[in-house]
Amino acid sequence: MKFLKIFFLFLYTLSFSQNGFEISHPKKAVIPFKLINNLVFIPLNINGVDLTFLLDSGVNETILFSLDNKEINFNEVEKIKFSGLGESMDIEGLKSEKNIVSIGKDYKDSQHMLFIILDESINFSSHVGIPVNGIIGYHFFKNHPIEINFTTKKITVYNDEKTVNKRQKRFTEFPMTIEGNKPYLMAEVEMTDKKVPSKMLVDLGNSDAVWLFPKVIEDFEYNRPNIEDYLGRGFNGDIFGKRSRIHSLSLGKFNFKQPLTAMPDEYSIQNLKIVPNRKGSIGSDILRRFTVIFNYPDKKLFLKKNQNYNDPFQFNSSGLDIQQDGMTWEKDMVVIETKKTLRGLDGTPISESPEKFQYNFVLKPKFTVAGCRKDSPCYVAGIRKNDQLISIDKKTVGDMSMQKINDYFKEDDGKKIFIQVEREDQILNFIITLQDPIPYQNAN
Of all residues in the chain, what percent carry a pLDDT higher than 70?
83
Q: What is the pLDDT of residues 367-407, one digit of tens each?
A: 999 999 989 999 999 999 999 999 999 999 988 988 999 99
Q: What is the rounded CA–CA span in Å between residue 342 and residue 235?
A: 70
419 SS3 class: strand
Q: Which residues pair with 41 in a beta bridge?
A: 34, 54
Residue 2: the pLDDT is 27
Residue 117: the pLDDT is 84
Phi, psi of 96, deg, nearest 5: -130, 130
Name the region of 307 (left: φ>0; alpha: ψ -120 to 50; beta: rest).
alpha
Q: What is the rounded CA–CA span in Å between residue 263 and residue 215?
A: 10
In order, the DSSP letters of 247-280 are SEEEETTEEEES-EEEEE-TTTTTT--PPTTEEE
49 SS3 class: strand
Residue 8: the pLDDT is 29
CA 226 and chain centroid, separation = 24
Residue 3: the pLDDT is 27
Q: What is the pLDDT of residues 233-290, one digit of tens each?
A: 766 567 889 999 999 999 999 999 999 999 998 877 776 778 999 999 999 999 999 9
Instruction: Tell me which residues of the chain have a pLDDT lower than 70.
Output: 1-18, 82-90, 119-122, 234-237, 271, 327-363, 443-444
Residues 6 or more apart from 2 whose CB is under 8 A from it? none
Residue 193: the pLDDT is 81
Q: What is the rounded CA–CA span in Å between residue 410 and residue 316?
A: 5
Would you say the C-alpha torsion 181, 183, 186, 189 has a positive or negative sign? Answer: negative
Q: How many CB atoms lie within 10 A of CB 395?
A: 12
